[in-house]
Structure 1
Amino acid sequence: MKKYAYIRVSSKDQNVSRQIEAMHDIGIIDKNMFIDKQSGKNFNREQYQLLLKKLKKGDELYVKSIDRFGRDYDEIQEQWRYLTRKIFVDIVVLDFPLLDTRNRVNGITGKFISDLVLQILSYVAQVERENTKQRQAEGIRIAKERGIRLGRPPKSIPEEFKEIYSLWKDNKISKRKGALMLHTNHNTFSSWIRNYEKSIENNNDKCEQK
């Protein structure tokens, strides 16, 4: 029997140290920890899939909390059943002792209680994920209505742009070469061209109206 840990955060810039420390505290070694840094909406995660290949009958799988395992009600239920009834792995959720399939009374109570509690907690995890998405959507809508720009501010056009633009306009360089010379990417250089040509067009329209 081996002990494994599954650790997950939603993005690459989030910290996993708290989950790792919790696993060290119960004696799980680093090589038996599988860490994903991506959304919990499904189980198509690289490290989780590698973990499934390692797990054998009688092994124990530890997660810090149920939302670290996943956030979709149906997906959590399906994976839980697969692990406990197909591979015959025990699952322990550290932050919620009732989710511990090792606690056996007459051979069934541990899994039975865990299954019931899991249905409630996984449903709550999904509702929270959906509420978060709704709050984000509402925040974006309100911001747009107020004229607030979202995302990164556009890069300002450098002084050297006009010279590079002229070379591109005269077919002496490609867009990609121009972007390289300005230390930016192809899409940004193309955007600068569109904005620059639009400003020239607007200025010409103003002159004609005078």
Structure 2
Amino acid sequence: MNKTVLYARVSTADQTLQHQRTQAEAAGFKIDKVVADHGVSGVTTKLAERPEGKRLFDILRPGDTLVVRWVDRLGRDYQDVSDSIRHFMRDGVIIKTVINAMVFDGATKDPIQQAVRDALIAFMAATAEAQATATKEAQRAGIAGAKADPKTYRGRKPSYDRETFDLVTGMLATNAGASAIAAVTKLSRQAILRIRDDRAGAEKALALWEM
């Protein structure tokens, strides 16, 4: 019997799996199994080198569905994300993303569809690497600013943690409204709108308090 597996990466000790699972289930996925890595950097560690990530290569079978919040969960950079997706497709596994509802299926034999699919994989993998780079730069900027002026630069502590921030940005990417996001995250509409209107600033503020 085919199964649907949610793979999640939880990068800090304060995060939980609940937001990622809630978002996946809200998107209509019925999750049979959850596989998660805790405290592992997605920017520096390949999927196959993560304690739980490497289990995916063993437990997924032809016809299974692998669900991830977005393709950035499947690798540390462009090459790793591309290689992971293509490996699973060769094994007959269907990859689906919660954000933007992307589907990567190796079953298609039509050359035009294959070309479109492969181009999409390349684009999504490149976007994932660009987003990871932007996140690192925002964190560096925040830390550098805090070191330069630790008393005044840090500012007010955000009302959200990293996991909630990722959930908000993920739901914004699916064009969810502020009220709907507030109901899921328990944040105020004002906080959500601030993240929407100035993601870089929100990212920097969060980075200051993650030091």
Question: How many residues are matched?
Answer: 146
SS of corresponding position for 2:81: helix
Q: CA deviation at 1:34?
A: 0.6
One-letter amino acid of the counterpart of residue 4, structure 1: V
Task: After TM superposition, list the pairs within 5 Å mapping 1:36-55 onto structure 2.
Answer: 36-37=37-38, 38-41=40-43, 42-43=46-47, 44-55=49-60
Counterpart CA distance in 1 for 2:107 and 2:42 is 27
TM-score if structure 1 supplies the norm length?
0.58
Larger-gyration structure (1/2): 1
What RMSD over aligned residues (CA atoms) do the two structures have, in Å?
2.8
Inter-partner Cα distance in structure 2 for 1:146 and 1:121: 37
Structure scoring higher RCO (CA < 8 A, sep ≥ 6) equals: 2
CA distance in 2, matches of 1:140, 1:22: 30
Q: How does 1:25-174 map to 2 (within 5 A)?
A: 25-29=28-32, 32-37=33-38, 38-41=40-43, 42-43=46-47, 44-85=49-90, 87-101=91-105, 104=108, 107=110, 111-146=114-149
Letter in 2 for 1:7: A
Q: Contact (CA 8 Å) 2:89, 2:104: kept in 1 or not?
A: no
Deviation for aligned residue 1:122: 1.8
**Residues 90-136 of structure 1: CA distance to partner in whole angstroms, max 9, x if unpaired?**
111132234332785x5456654332222112212212222222232
Q: Note closer, same or farther for the CA distance 1:114–1:148 as it changes in structure 2 (3 Å cut).
A: farther
Task: State the percentage of identical aligned residues.
Answer: 26
Judging changes above 3 Å, is the alpha-carbon distance between structure 1 residues 36 and 138 closer, same or farther for their aligned structure 2 residues?
same
- What is the rounded CA distance, in whole Å, between the counterparts of 1:148 and 1:47 in structure 2? 40
